[in-house]
Amino acid sequence: MSKFLNLALPAAGGTALVLGGAYGIATSSYGNDRIDVLEANLTAAQAVASAQVAEAGELRTALEALSATTEEQMAALRAEAGAQANAAERQIAALQTQLQTAQAKTSDAPATDAATLVTAAPKPDQGFGLGRTALPEEIAAWDVDVLPDGRGLPEGAGDVWTGEEVFGEKCASCHGDFAEGRDNWPVLAGGFDTLADENPVKTVGSYWPYLSTVWDYVHRSMPFGNAGTLSDDEVYAITAYILFSNDLVGDDFTLSQETFADVTLGNADGFVVDDRAEVEYPQWRAEPCMENCKTAAAQITRRSTDVGVTPADDGSMAESHMEQQLALLGGVEWGKERVAGSVFMGAGGVAEDEPVEEIASLDPPAEAAEAADPALVAQGEKAFRRCKSCHAVGPGAKNKTGPHLNSVFGRTIGGLDGFKYSSAFQSAAEAGRVWDDASIAAFLAKPKSYIDGTKMTFAGLKNEADIAGIIAYLKAISQ
Ligand code: HEC
Ligand code: HEC
């Protein structure tokens, strides 16, 4: 009995599917004759299907009546009912395929009837039967953000002294009594003027642009591991204390909705709106030029043999500049610095049999300069390449990253008008110190040790012959 029911059901299921398809078409609403026809077919098919289902029902009744008859009769009846149900299903499947094809065709076509589109769209409130409208208090619990202008702040107030107490109790274990940070926990105060450093200290005082972020962040997420336990007044008080720790308010300050706008954080102007999408990207999107792009003739500005990475033309390293470099560098702290134009030589060192003698045989700097030995001047000119990116010298030399070096001998240290020296250099200038061979040699050997606080970012020249050479060269070119 139940087996027979199973056979009849797929037919009914198929009908439901077809109905779904028909509804889809109606709502997709690209009114179209073909679809109308198919819809009519469908209705017909549906009628046939229900008739068949009804017929199957009759057969079932008949079967029940015949329940006493032989197994063979039963089987025959079952087969007949099954075949009818299958036929109905096949018919429905074929119609569905036709419908899908028609739908695919019409959905490519432009909408012909906007009004139909609008009216046929499913109503939002029909939904999917999921979820419910949020309650006002649920929205309020989520809606805790505070905006830079103070919108969103709750009622309340807190002063620095209360803040110090609460901070000591709930925050100092990680952030230190004075918000200075304990171990690796974040430091919340200080670090002013370090943002441009290699390792900037980013704190509320040095880095954060808006006070609202401090309030909001503490309110939402601190104390770490116990978020949400602070009262609004406590958050006001703690925020006041963090401001105090950053020298942004006095110890008599009370933070509230009213005083909130009086405080501006140090880095308020440090963030800019990212306009690269409008300003920069279009420039890169231009069609790149892929042929005959360069108009001026090519020029050789530097050779790889100069920087000591390429052997000389005949392939012999002995003739190469590299060889000379190695010789000159004999005995220096090898591998610790970049030599000759940023080629990193790595650890390893100079072969034992390099002619280190050459260094010893060079004249000491002062004498060499006086002698104005052309070879020394030439070596100096070469060594000066490492200075050129920052210093100009010679006729018409202008200040670059560093001051121009014309007539630097006898010149006051930090003495050029119009160049902005470091305060270390300014103090030297005030003290009336003057450049001479010895002081320049000492400065070039280790700039940062010779003038502590100089902004000349240059590690120093390891090679005395280079120093002597540069001195000779600077003198020669200044004449
Ligand atoms: C158990 C240790 C701990 C305690 C207690 C704690 N914090 Fe924090 N705090 C952290 C950690 C860790 C971070 C960094 C979290 C991160 O980056 O995701 C942090 C970050 C912060 C920051 C952001 C720092 C920055 O520059 O990014 C502020 C502000 C802050 N905490 C304030 C507080 C206040 C106020 C309290 C007391 C109510 C407090 N914290 C209690 C561990 C702690
Ligand atoms: C990365 C840039 C840079 C490089 C490379 C550099 N300098 Fe400087 N130099 C400076 C700056 C900047 C100053 C000013 C220092 C200050 O104000 O603290 C300076 C100052 C000097 C001064 C003092 C000038 C004065 O008016 O008092 C001399 C001399 C000098 N540099 C020589 C050299 C030589 C020689 C080299 C190459 C071996 C060199 N510098 C490499 C940037 C550079």
Same domain, yes or no: 412 and 459: yes
User: Ligand 2 atom closest to Cα of 457?
Assistant: 1
Q: Which residue has the higher pLDDT, 284 or 154?
A: 154
- Within-domain flag for 414: yes
Specify whether the CB–CB gap between 471 and 441 falls below 8 A.
yes
Ligand 1 proximity of 153 Cβ (cutoff 6 Å)? no
Give the model's pLDDT for residue 352.
Answer: 36
User: b/e map of 331-362 (b: 16 or more CB within 10 Å)?
Assistant: eeebeeeebbeeeebeeebbeeebebeebeeb
Average pLDDT over residues 52-63: 82
- Within-domain flag for 45: yes
Ligand 1 proximity of 205 Cβ (cutoff 6 Å)? no
Same domain, yes or no: 153 and 239: yes
pLDDT digits (tens, 9 = 90+) for 98-124: 788 766 665 554 444 444 444 555 555
The Cα 439–Cα 442 span in angstroms is 5
Signed CA dihedral, 35, 39, 44, 48: sign only: positive
- Within-domain flag for 120: no
The Cα 250–Cα 116 span in angstroms is 68
The residue whose C-alpha atom lies closest to atom 25 belonging to ligand 2 is: 414
User: Ligand 2 atom closest to Cα of 415?
Assistant: 26
Other Cβ atoms within 10 Å of 43 Cβ, number: 13
Phi and psi torsions of 343, nearest 5°: -90, 120
| Distance in Å, CA 402 to ligand 2 centroid | 5
| Distance in Å, CA 269 to ligand 1 centroid | 24
User: Exposed, middle or buried: residue 72 (CB in 10 Å: 0-12, 13-18, 19+)?
Assistant: exposed
3-class DSSP state of 174:
helix
What integer best gives the mean pLDDT of the chain? 77
User: Ligand 2 atom closest to Cα of 420?
Assistant: 17
Confidence class of residue 80 from pLDDT cuts 50, 70 and 90? confident
Q: Which residue has the higher pLDDT, 93 or 67?
A: 93
The Cα 435–Cα 421 span in angstroms is 15
Starting from the CA of residue 445, give the closest ligand: 2
Is the pLDDT at 277 greater than 70, yes or no?
yes
| Distance in Å, CA 327 to ligand 2 centroid | 27
Ligand 2 proximity of 448 Cβ (cutoff 6 Å)? no
Check which CATH number belongs to the domain holding 217 and give it: 1.10.760.10
Same domain, yes or no: 257 and 169: yes
Provide the β-strand partners of residue 434: 412
Ligand 2 proximity of 473 Cβ (cutoff 6 Å)? no
- Within-domain flag for 361: no
- Domain edge (last residue) among 220, 244, 262: 262
Length of the chain: 479
Q: Which of 213-222, 435-444, 458-467 has the lowest mean pLDDT?
A: 458-467
Ligand 2 proximity of 170 Cβ (cutoff 6 Å)? no
Ligand 2 proximity of 457 Cβ (cutoff 6 Å)? yes
Signed CA dihedral, 383, 388, 389, 391: sign only: positive
3-class DSSP state of 93:
helix
- Within-domain flag for 424: yes
Same domain, yes or no: 343 and 377: no
Q: What percent of the chain has pLDDT over 70?
A: 72
Ligand 1 proximity of 175 Cβ (cutoff 6 Å)? yes
Q: Which residue has tokens 């121009």?
A: 404
Q: Which of 239-248, 348-357, 449-458 has the lowest mean pLDDT?
A: 348-357
Ligand 1 proximity of 186 Cβ (cutoff 6 Å)? yes
Starting from the CA of residue 380, give the closest ligand: 2
Dihedral of the alpha carbons of 313, 315, 318, 323, in degrees to the nearest 10: 70
The Cα 300–Cα 161 span in angstroms is 69
Same domain, yes or no: 397 and 325: no
Same domain, yes or no: 239 and 158: yes
Give the model's pLDDT for residue 325.
Answer: 60
Give the model's pLDDT for residue 120.
Answer: 52
- Within-domain flag for 454: yes
Ligand 2 proximity of 390 Cβ (cutoff 6 Å)? yes
Same domain, yes or no: 344 and 419: no
Ligand 1 proximity of 224 Cβ (cutoff 6 Å)? yes
| Distance in Å, CA 196 to ligand 1 centroid | 24
Same domain, yes or no: 376 and 459: yes
Mutate to test the pocket of ligand 1, among 174, 213, 216, 245 (most ligand atoms within 8 A of CB): 174
Average pLDDT over residues 133-158: 91
The Cα 421–Cα 413 span in angstroms is 10
Ligand 1 proximity of 226 Cβ (cutoff 6 Å)? no
The Cα 454–Cα 452 span in angstroms is 6
Ligand 1 proximity of 209 Cβ (cutoff 6 Å)? no
Ligand 1 proximity of 217 Cβ (cutoff 6 Å)? yes
Is the pLDDT at 199 greater than 80, yes or no?
yes
Cα angle vertex 328, ends 322, 329, to 5°?
85
As for how many domains the chain has, the answer is 4
| Distance in Å, CA 403 to ligand 2 centroid | 7
Confidence class of residue 469 from pLDDT cuts 50, 70 and 90? very high
Helix residue ranges per DSSP H, 296-398: 321-328, 357-361, 365-371, 374-383, 385-388
Starting from the CA of residue 243, give the closest ligand: 1
- Within-domain flag for 96: no
Same domain, yes or no: 425 and 466: yes
- Domain edge (last residue) among 62, 84, 106: 84
Same domain, yes or no: 341 and 384: no
Contacts 24+ apart (CB under 8 A), 394-402: 394/477, 402/456
Terminal Cα-to-Cα distance of the chain (whole angstroms) = 119
3-class DSSP state of 427:
helix
Ligand 2 proximity of 440 Cβ (cutoff 6 Å)? yes
- Domain edge (last residue) among 200, 234, 262: 262
Same domain, yes or no: 319 and 388: no
pLDDT digits (tens, 9 = 90+) for 21-38: 444 444 444 456 667 777
- Within-domain flag for 358: no
Starting from the CA of residue 186, give the closest ligand: 1
Same domain, yes or no: 331 and 405: no
Give the model's pLDDT for residue 413.
Answer: 94
The Cα 237–Cα 15 span in angstroms is 69
pLDDT digits (tens, 9 = 90+) for 374-432: 899 999 999 998 888 889 998 888 898 899 999 999 999 999 988 999 999 999 999 99
Give the model's pLDDT for residue 98.
Answer: 79
Q: Domain range spanning residue 66?
A: 1-84
The Cα 414–Cα 419 span in angstroms is 8
Is the pLDDT at 340 greater than 60, yes or no?
no
Q: What's CA 416's distance to the chain center, in Å?
A: 42
